[in-house]
Structure formats: C-alpha cells, structure tokens
Amino acid sequence: MRTPTLIEKMQKYSAQNYFPLPVVLARGQGAKVWDVDGKEYLDFLACYSALNFGHQHPRLLAALKGQAERLAVCSRAFYSEELSLFCEELALFCGMEKVLPMNTGTEAVETALKLARKWGYEIKKVASDRAKIIVLKNNFHGRTISIVSFSTEPSYRDGFGPYTPGFEVVNFGDVAAIENAIDENTVAVLIEPIQAESGILLPPTGYLSELRKITRKRKVLLMLDEIQTGLGRTGKDFCFQHEGITPDVLILGKSLGGGLLPLSAVVSSAEVMRVIRPGQHGSTFGGNPLACAVGRAALDLMKKEKISERAETLGKIIRDELMRTPLPKVKEIRGKGALVGIEMAESSGGARRYCEKLATQGVLCKETHDFVIRIAPPLIISESELRVGLQKIIQVIQAG
C-alpha cells in the first residue's frame, strides 16, 4: 500500500496520541530508512537514541535470531542463562553492583521511584508515607500517572489528575535550589544529565559534581535517568562520566535493547538494591532471555566498535558544520556528543515546518518543544552520510 492509504488507515483506526511527519516507513539499514513508496531517507532522529547502533545491525540481529531459536521468554520463577550473564555484564559495564531489568524506560523510572521510597523508609528511616523525591522543571521521564504527576509540561499532565504526591519540582541547573529543597523526608533527587526532550537543555559545567557532593552530605540518593543520554550518545559511555561522578541509581533503556526490542534496567549498589525483596516488584517480560541476549550484544558492541568515541567525533562534525555557516534564523546550537539541538528564533515560524521540509529532502528530524530541531543520528552513521544530511539541514534552514 502507498503512503496516503496507510496514513488514512492510521487516522481511522489508531488513537491519535502522536503527531508524526507524513512518512510511512517500511525498511531500515544502518543510518538509512525507506518508506513504502521506496523513497530513501537519512535517519537523524534514531528513535530518540533507541537506535544508537542503527537499524538492523547484523551482530544484534544474529543475537536476536540465535536466542529466539533457543529460548525467548521464561518466567522469573526460574533462573535463565542469558539473564544471569546480562546482569553481570551490565553491572560491570556501569561500574556498579546490582541490576534490576525491566522493559521500557518508563517502567525503569517507576522502578527507581519505588526503590528510592523503599530505601528511604528502611535505610534512611523516613517516617511512613512521607518520602519526598526532588525532580527538575522541564523534566521528561515517561508518561505513567506518577511520572506525569511531577511533569511541568501541561500537555503531558492536564486531564490526568488526581496526581501522585511525594514530589517537589525545582529549577534545572540550580544546585542551590536542590539543596534548599532537601529536608528530613527527602529520599532522592531524580534528574536527566541533559534534558533531551525539553530541547537539549544542558546544566552549567560542574552541576552534577556539585549535586553529587550535596546528595552524599545530606544522605539522599542521586538517581540519573540516562535513558536517552546513556550508552555512548554524549561521547562517553554515560553522560555522568563527563564530570567524573557515579550516581547511586542509574536508569537505562532505549538503545540497551539494540533498537530491536524493549529492554531497560535500574542499576545500583547492593546496599540500595537489597531493599527490594521477592514479591515486591517484578515484570512478566522483564529480563526475558531474548532481550538479555540482545542487550549483551549491545554492550559488546559498545566496547568493540568504540561507540562513545564515535559519538564524540560525530558531535564535533555536527557542531563544526552548523556553526561555520551563518544561520540568522537560528537562536542557538547546543549539545554534547551526537545529541544536538538547533533552537530556531521565534520569528522562524517554529521547528516543525523545517522538519517537514527536511523530510521531503530525505532527512528525518523531529521538532521538540516547538522551536528546537533535534539532531541525533545513529552512532554508526558514516561521516559522509552525516555531512550530506547536515548540508541539507543547513540549506533548508537558509531557505526558510
């Protein structure tokens, strides 16, 4: 079927909870995708960092197919070989001790929230049902009721009350605001090292290291949501490594599943993780052998293909190409590694119109928060492919 027919079917039969560009994809390979009409595109979105390894990576496909032929799913009522190996390899890769596997990023965030509250009651001795978690303005951690309860984006939040209590919102990038918000009931601070969904917003240099000192001093867990920034995207294995710290709780997802299937995890110390006991938390598909086999292959690729170093190289090319050309309609270009936001001036008419034009030119980007064009290609993209896409972006912005 052709594009108009399939879009019509989506509009007729599917809930309209997304506002996609008018492109119907059918196939992908590496950094390229093709629509149902055979048109080729460069993927500059990478499914919000779920496709750090690109589309259909042969080594990941081999892991998927090989495990699917042996054992895809089994109950956590039993041990499984792949889960045991995955937990060991992910813990060592993160430099931490314990892994709690889930499926989606949102599930991992919910898991971390439960973990923090349980730790607060059992270890910090916070009074029952008084635990407080500090979160940041403009955050994006998912779309469950509890998570949208502390969102500051009206479109994520409005109409979904009553909201889950126990959260306090402070300004992103302001260490003093977090320190002032900590009280005897505070069990954790939950943050994204870079607020990707909110327009690639970066905190001041030293923010994470100062926050690490404060949370240690005040006996509060530092929980980092690296679902979008982790596994190489910012030029390090994890974004927190840019400041030489380690969080108490690390939340991972998206590309952990190799861009092939959902896989997420909460990684922490043995001291923190021991508060979760049998029967208190779980997931039917969390840690299934199929996902774990792909996750292990993804971690192996991280090391053998030097994905983080590759992201640093790509990021430099992106910023150099964009900044060497005068772009009067651009307000700011910001980012870290291969996660870059182009913020358009208010007079530009918004980012959506540029993303729509880019799609006609064979480059797939997506607007975020109205005025930011997000640039985050697969980390396996060739430099020549990257430069071709960047030149098209520059041309479209210049043409207005």
Whether residue 105 is found in the same domain as residue 24: no
Identify the domain boundary among 246, 277, 304.
Answer: 304
pLDDT of residue 315: 98
Q: Is the pLDDT of residue 144 over 90?
A: yes
Q: What is the pLDDT of residue 400?
A: 82
Task: Give me the number of domains the chain comprises.
Answer: 2
- Known catalytic residues are 140, 225, 254
Shared domain check, 317 and 294: no
Instruction: State the CATH number of the domain containing residue 353.
Output: 3.90.1150.10
* pLDDT tens track for 81-96: 999 999 999 999 999 9
Condensed to tens digits (0 to 9), the pLDDT of residues 25-36 reads: 999 999 999 999
Instruction: Specify the residue for token string 């709780």.
Output: 249
290 with 156, same domain: the answer is yes
Q: Stretch 3-19: mean pLDDT, rounded?
A: 96
Note whether 193 and 272 are within 8 A (CB).
no
* The domain boundary residue, chosen from 260, 279, 304: 304
Task: Please report, for residues 83, 138, 223, 265, 272, the alpha-carbon distance to residue 112 in angstroms, rounded to integers and kept in the order given.
Answer: 20, 19, 8, 9, 11
Please check the confidence at residue 219 and state whether its pLDDT lies above 90.
yes
Residues 360, 249 share a domain: no
Does residue 267 share a domain with residue 330?
A: no
Question: Which pLDDT score, from 0 to 100, does residue 174 have?
Answer: 97
Is the domain of 178 the same as that of 263? Answer: yes
* pLDDT number for residue 1: 83
Query: How confident is the model at residue 103, as a pLDDT?
Result: 98
pLDDT exceeds 90 at position 46:
yes
Domain hosting 26: range is 3-56+307-399
Both 271 and 128 in one domain: the answer is yes
Q: Are residues 229 and 336 in the same domain?
A: no
CB contact at 8 A, 234 and 242: yes
Instruction: Write the pLDDT tens digit of every residue in 175-213.
Output: 999 999 999 999 999 999 999 999 999 999 999 999 999
What whole-number percentage of the chain has pLDDT above 70?
100
Residues 131 and 35 in one domain: no
Q: Are residues 169 and 266 in the same domain?
A: yes
pLDDT over 90 for what percent of the chain? 99
On whether both 280 and 317 belong to a single domain, the answer is no
Final residue in a domain of this structure, among 257, 286, 304: 304
- Give me the mean pLDDT over the 1-23 stretch: 96
Cβ 252 vs Cβ 230: under 8 Å: yes
The answer, yes or no, to whether residue 232 has pLDDT greater than 90, is yes
Average pLDDT over every residue of 298-309: 98
Q: For the stretch 101-116, what's the b/e string if a residue is b when 16 or more beta carbons lie within 10 angstroms of its beta carbon?
A: bbbbbbbbbbbbbbbb
What pLDDT, on the 0 to 100 scale, is given for residue 8? Answer: 97
Q: Give the per-residue pLDDT at 218.
A: 98
At 349-391, the pLDDT tens digits run 999 999 999 999 999 999 998 999 999 999 999 999 999 999 9
Mean pLDDT taken over the chain: 97
98-118: average pLDDT: 98
Whether 276 and 341 share a structural domain: no
Residue 218 sits in a domain whose CATH number is: 3.40.640.10
Confidence at 113, pLDDT banded by 50, 70, 90: very high
